[in-house]
Copies of this chain bind each other. A is one copy, B any other.
Amino acid sequence: MPKKLGRYTIEFENKIFVQSFSAVAGKKESEGPLKEFFDKIFQDTTLGEETWEKSESKLQSQVVKLSLKKAKLTSEDIDYIFSGDLLNQNISSTFGLKKFGIPFLGQYGACSTMAQNLVLASIFIESKVANRTLAVTSSHFCSAERQFRFPLEYGGQRTPTAQWTVTGSGSVILGLEKKTDIYINKVTVGKITDLGIKDQNNMGAAMAPAAFETLQNFFSDTETIPEDYDAIFTGDLGAVGSNLLRDLLIKEKNIDISKNHKDCGLIIFKRKEQDVHSGGSGCGCSASVLCSYILSKLQKKEFKNIIFMATGALMSPTSVQQNEPIPGIAHLVNFRTV
């Protein structure tokens, strides 16, 4: 039986093993530091499709195919698929995954979606309602820009605190069978946190309070400290949000994560050279960093116990236009190796 630690954290009785993982990315991402870790790079970010929305859908279908192939499974072997994305009504997921015919549960956690999918996918395995589950998400710079900000053709200026939406996708298959040495041990579900930030060009600041909330809940529930983990990955707070998170933890709780904290939005790009301002963002940012760099390092035992906490900004262009604040959320997954 799973154990509830405190109010927010679940410790699994079973080892929820990663069966396989894969990540795909676009041209700009391939020019960053993680190039060698991606399974597939699309230099042509249209992926041969007529619309950016269909290009993003194809990122998801490609990455799911790769994960199935690596685990030597077919879509019939997957009991449930958890997916979501940033586009209105989750259309990248719907259109990208419909042909697989896998029972589908659509998720929305903005850029926290990969962690949310993993929380649900692992609980389904732990509870024995599923033998194998798949978690996937994506984002695409071009579909996100035109939906959330400006048409690309407009060539709008970006503010220094703005983040750059990653073109990429990551997927993980989970199950009880030990196909890799990596397993999910604990998960923490976040709550909606709103400190009244209204600047949609500063998502890092909007998400940092949620990241603070979930991370300190996790440490408190598990009675652990940052040094117990090889690395603490947040995604995607960027430069502004990362600094805010570290400051909040020190000032409010005297918790120092500076030694082993890394942000997915900061490690996917060479920030200054690639002109991405505060760093990468989008559901596909933390998902593609997790499913390339992070899980590879776990597989090689360079990491043995890490925290993956994805953060999301729960706004829409409508709520921003209506001058509403930007609530944030963060969900956390603790990966370990046997």
Q: Is the CB of B315 within 8 A of A91?
A: yes
0/1 interface trace, chain A 278-321, chain B, CB 8 Å (1 if under): 00000000000000000000000000000000000011111100
Interface residues as binary, A68-97 with B (CB distance below 8 Å gives 1, 0 otherwise): 000000000001100010111111001101
Most B Cβ at <10 Å: residue of A147, A314, A315, A322: A314
Q: A247 interface residue, CB < 8 Å from B? A: no
A53 within 8 A of B: yes
The minimal Cβ–Cβ distance linking A8 to chain B, given in whole angstroms, is 6
Complex Cα gap A329–B1 (Å): 32
A31-39, A117-125, A231-239 - interface stretch = A117-125
Q: Are B106 and A10 in contact (CB under 8 A)?
A: no
Q: How many residues of A contact B (CB 8 A)?
A: 59
Residue interface bits A316-338, CB-to-B below 8 A is 1, else 0:
11110010100101000000000
Q: Do B127 and A110 touch (CB < 8 A)? A: no
Complex Cα–Cα for A319 and B95 (A)? 9
Q: Cβ of B192 and Cβ of A80 under 8 Å apart?
A: no
* CB atoms of B191 and A104 under 8 A apart: yes
Considering only residues 32-69 of chain A, those with a C-beta below 8 Å from chain B are 51, 53-54
- A152 lies within 8 A of chain B by Cβ: no
Tell me if A175 counts as interface (CB < 8 A to partner B). Answer: no
For the complex of A and B, the 7 pairs showing the least CB-CB separation, nearest first, are A127-B127, A89-B316, A103-B189, A98-B192, A106-B108, A94-B314, A88-B88
If A88-B317, A91-B314, A106-B107 are given as contacts, then 5 extra A-B residue pairs at C-beta distance below 8 Å, sorted by A number, are A10-B129, A87-B316, A95-B324, A104-B329, A105-B189
